[in-house]
């Protein structure tokens, strides 16, 4: 305990300069009280040190320090500097800059060599370009142009502003440069993508530390130059965690997940950034089953996932439509009190939509109290793709009512919804609204939606006009919409026109030949059907084997066409023959027009249809999932006509909701109908 004897003892305490970081929580407050009691508070030496103590104290906030400052009759230059510096160091840069303005107009002091670096740092953090340049000018006027502290903070500030030329100018004028300044400039070059100049600087450097090397490895990795990154990584005299992480990122960016993984396995110390690099890397490289495995592994090790861990994991789960896994991650989030009012809410809504569970997506949407654009967009897009057009448009209008400004993706959701509901007029109106009211330039996706709206309504000529007048080159998807509509509306002329364009873009795209052949078959042009088959043979491309996934008992069961490898194969084929009898009794006639393999006999064609992967998955679902539980299947290809009408029957006969996500949309089969209204 400090004894309150006389002001001299306090004086002697305050002479213990420099003051050490005060670990004892009572000390600053005690000194404060003491200084008031002994009427020494106004001694600039004492109050300055009090501020210093408060700013370093773990139990006091900067606001306490500020209070002392505000009570001082005449704050010293030291106090001004201490407080400004503390603001920057505690991520309160704005207060630092405000205080500097106050300092210039009120303090009566001239900034010194300690004042400027911290304000410059603050400007850099705030990206306050104009203020930063003004302070630079002031520094020159005051004669600090060649002060190393000031110069190196300017190099850092201009690098942050992406103004690498100004950074270089200051750098070149420096008579002595420390390694930190070299590294700062190097980092600046890397951040603005000037990798060649960065390499030049790197080669010039006489001294390099682990930061230098890591910045370079990271830069090369980020610009996709993984070979050079690997070379440097190999040459590094010493590596730290960020160096390993940078290299892993490099491999993942280059799609070399094998090398990334082997590096990952070699690492003894990993941090959450390492895990995130791996998880996001796998997700970007469409290795969707890996992120979840890693996520579980990191939880087992007691690591705490960050937002980006969860976002990548949920995205991977969405691609595989692993609803139960998704629910599990959701409950993890709830248990750990993670807020949904940010990107996590959006991820969760998207996950439920992509897993075909729109009800849960809506539930999540409803509990988010401060809904942002991302949340609204995710739910509107989700409802749109699930065929719940009315609901999607209602929410869109509500969103406008609460003054949330839509973006381009929101409009994709809106246009999709109009498409599903066959709302041609509304679709056109929203398209115009997007351009004229919200000044959003339509992208190729928006045109794709508009074309599809017209196609679905059978307005093929108008759709063709839109395609021909688009400002950008139409893509394969748009031509496929037109071709697919031509098949449905039996328009050979436009169908052939679309198919020609697809062949120009992607001569080996088999789905377009399949559609064209279906169109010919539907219009009885059998010569042309065999001609298309010849063309397919010539391309030498085999159709991707159909593949369907279904989740059961926390496992993903995968079926390819004609699959007989599943342990329950016997039961599955028994179920299929039961289904065959049922279909017969309800008068179903197999639609063989889409069987395009070299299969001749009718029975064989029927057998081929029967073993389509989604039917195996649905049969598996009927056997294993309890009555009332919807069957959810994800398929890699477009659902064929016959499977579509069979699934409709099955939904009615077995009184089962069946949700199939194919490569273009969702089909909700219920009571003998599909949400796509037979257009896909």
The CB-of-500 to Zn ion minimum distance in angstroms stands at 27
Q: Which is nearer to Zn ion, 650 or 676 (CB)?
A: 676
Which string of DSSP letters, residue by residue, matches 594-623? G--SS--SHHHHHHHHHT-HHHHHHHHHHH
In whole angstroms, what is the distance from residue 299 CA to residue 633 CA? 29
Distance of CA 639 to the CA centre of its chain: 29
Q: Long-range contacts for 516-522 (Cβ within 8 Å, ≥24 apart)?
A: 516/483, 516/487, 517/596, 518/487, 518/593, 518/594, 519/483, 519/486, 519/487, 519/490, 519/492, 519/495, 520/492, 521/593, 522/487, 522/490, 522/593
Six-digit token string for 290 = 């890996």
- Closer to Zn ion by CB, 305 or 387: give it: 387
Give whichever of 280 and 643 is closer to Zn ion, judged by the CB atom.
Answer: 643
Distances (CA, A) of 560 to 215, 288, 636, 674: 46, 18, 10, 23
Closer CB to Zn ion, residue 270 or residue 667? Answer: 667
Please report how close the Cβ of residue 642 comes to Zn ion at its closest, in angstroms.
5
CB of 609 to Zn ion, least distance (A): 6
- For 278, the 3-state DSSP assignment is helix
CB closer to Zn ion out of 315 and 611: 611
CB of 680 to Zn ion, least distance (A): 5
Min dist CB 455 to Zn ion, Å, is: 16
Query: Given the structure tokens 């106050």, which residue do they identify?
Result: 102
Find the shortest distance in angstroms from Cβ 480 to Zn ion: 17
Tell me whether residue 127 or residue 673 sits nearer to Zn ion (CB atom).
673
Our CA angle for 43, 47, 48, nearest 5°, is 110
Min dist CB 611 to Zn ion, Å, is: 9
CB of 390 to Zn ion, least distance (A): 18
Q: How many CB atoms are closer than 10 A to CB 591? A: 16
Check if the beta carbon of residue 396 is closer than 8 Å to that of residue 380.
Answer: yes
Kindly tell me which of 49 and 667 has the beta carbon lying closer to Zn ion.
667
Structure tokens at 151: 């110069």
- Cβ at position 219, least distance to Zn ion in Å: 48
**Beta-sheet pairing, 658-661 with 555-560:** unpaired
Q: Which is nearer to Zn ion, 418 or 434 (CB)?
A: 418
Nearer to Zn ion, 51 or 457 (CB): 457
Specify whether the CB–CB gap between 285 and 255 falls below 8 A.
Answer: yes
Q: How many Å apart are CA 86 and CA 543, to the nearest integer?
A: 65
Nearer to Zn ion, 78 or 679 (CB): 679
Q: Tell me which residues touch Zn ion (CB under 5 A).
A: 612, 640, 643, 667, 674, 676
Q: To the nearest whole angstrom, how small is the minimum distance from the Cβ of residue 498 to Zn ion?
A: 22
What is the C-alpha to C-alpha distance for residues 76 and 103, in angstroms, rounded to an integer? Answer: 11
Contact 451, 463 (CB under 8 A): yes
């Amino acid at each position: 305990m400090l004894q309150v004897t006389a002001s001299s003892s306090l004086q002697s305490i305050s002479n213990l300069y420099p003051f050490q970081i005060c670990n004892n929580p009572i000390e600053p407050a005690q000194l404060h009280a003491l200084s008031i009691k002994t009427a020494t508070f106004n001694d600039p030496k004492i109050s300055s040190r009090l501020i210093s103590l408060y700013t370093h104290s773990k139990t006091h906030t900067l606001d306490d320090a500020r209070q002392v400052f505000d009570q001082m009759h005449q704050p010293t230059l030291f106090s001004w500097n201490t407080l400004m510096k503390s603001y920057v160091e505690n991520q309160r840069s704005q207060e630092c800059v405000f205080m500097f303005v106050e300092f210039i107009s009120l303090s009566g002091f001239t900034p010194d060599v300690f004042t400027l670096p911290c304000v410059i740092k603050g400007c850099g953090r705030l990206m306050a370009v104009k203020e930063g340049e003004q302070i630079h000018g002031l520094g020159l006027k005051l004669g600090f142009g060649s002060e190393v502290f000031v110069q190196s903070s300017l190099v850092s500030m201009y690098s942050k502003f992406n103004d690498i030329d100004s950074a270089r100018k200051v750098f070149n004028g420096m008579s002595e440069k420390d390694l930190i300044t070299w590294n700062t400039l190097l980092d600046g070059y890397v951040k603005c993508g000037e990798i060649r100049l960065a390499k030049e600087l790197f080669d010039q450097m006489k001294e390099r530390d682990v930061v230098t090397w890591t910045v370079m490895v990271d830069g090369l990795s980020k610009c996709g130059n993984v070979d050079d990154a690997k070379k440097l990584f190999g040459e590094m005299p010493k590596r730290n965690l960020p160096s390993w992480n940078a290299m892993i990122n490099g491999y993942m960016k280059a799609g070399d997940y094998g090398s990334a993984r082997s590096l990952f396995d070699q690492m003894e110390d990993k941090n959450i950034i390492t895990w995130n690099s791996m998880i996001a890397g796998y997700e970007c490289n469409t290795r969707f089953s890996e992120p979840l495995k890693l996520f579980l592994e990191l939880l087992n090790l007691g690591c705490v996932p960050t937002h980006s861990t969860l976002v990548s994991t949920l995205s991977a789960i969405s691609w595989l439509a692993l609803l139960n896994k998704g629910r599990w991650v959701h409950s993890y989030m709830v248990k750990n009190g993670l807020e949904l009012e940010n990107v996590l809410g959006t991820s969760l809504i998207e996950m439920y939509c992509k897993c075909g569970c729109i009800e849960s997506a809506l539930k999540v949407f409803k509990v988010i109290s401060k809904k942002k654009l991302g949340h609204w967009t995710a739910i509107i897009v989700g409802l749109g793709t699930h065929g719940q057009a009315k609901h999607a448009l209602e929410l869109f209008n509500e969103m406008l009512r609460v003054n949330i400004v839509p973006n381009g993706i929101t409009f994709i959701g809106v246009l999709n919804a109009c498409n599903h509901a066959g709302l041609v007029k509304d679709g056109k109106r929203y398209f115009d609204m997007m351009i004229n009211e919200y000044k959003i330039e339509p992208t190729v996706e928006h045109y794709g939606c508009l074309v599809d709206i017209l196609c679905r309504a059978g307005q093929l000529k108008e759709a063709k006009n839109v395609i021909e007048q688009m400002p950008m080159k139409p893509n394969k998807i748009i031509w496929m919409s037109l071709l697919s509509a031509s098949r449905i509306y039996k328009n050979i002329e436009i169908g052939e026109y679309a198919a020609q364009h697809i062949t120009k873009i992607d001569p080996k795209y088999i789905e377009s030949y399949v559609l064209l052949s279906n169109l010919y078959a539907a219009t009885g042009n059998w010569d042309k059907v065999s001609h298309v088959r010849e063309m397919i043979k010539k391309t030498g491309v085999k159709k991707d084997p159909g593949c369907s996934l279904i989740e059961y008992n926390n496992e993903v069961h995968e079926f390819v066409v004609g699959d007989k490898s599943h342990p329950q194969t016997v039961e599955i084929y028994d179920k299929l023959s039961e289904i065959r009898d049922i279909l017969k009794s309800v008068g179903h006639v197999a639609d063989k027009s889409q069987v395009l393999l070299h299969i001749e006999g009718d029975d064989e064609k029927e057998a081929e249809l029967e073993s389509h992967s989604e039917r195996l998955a649905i049969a598996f679902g009927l056997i294993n999932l309890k009555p009332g539980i919807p069957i959810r299947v994800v398929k890699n290809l477009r659902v064929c006509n016959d499977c579509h009408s069979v699934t409709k029957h099955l939904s009615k006969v077995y009184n089962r909701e069946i949700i199939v996500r194919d490569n273009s949309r969702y089909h909700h089969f219920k009571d003998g109908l599909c949400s796509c209204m037979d257009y896909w």
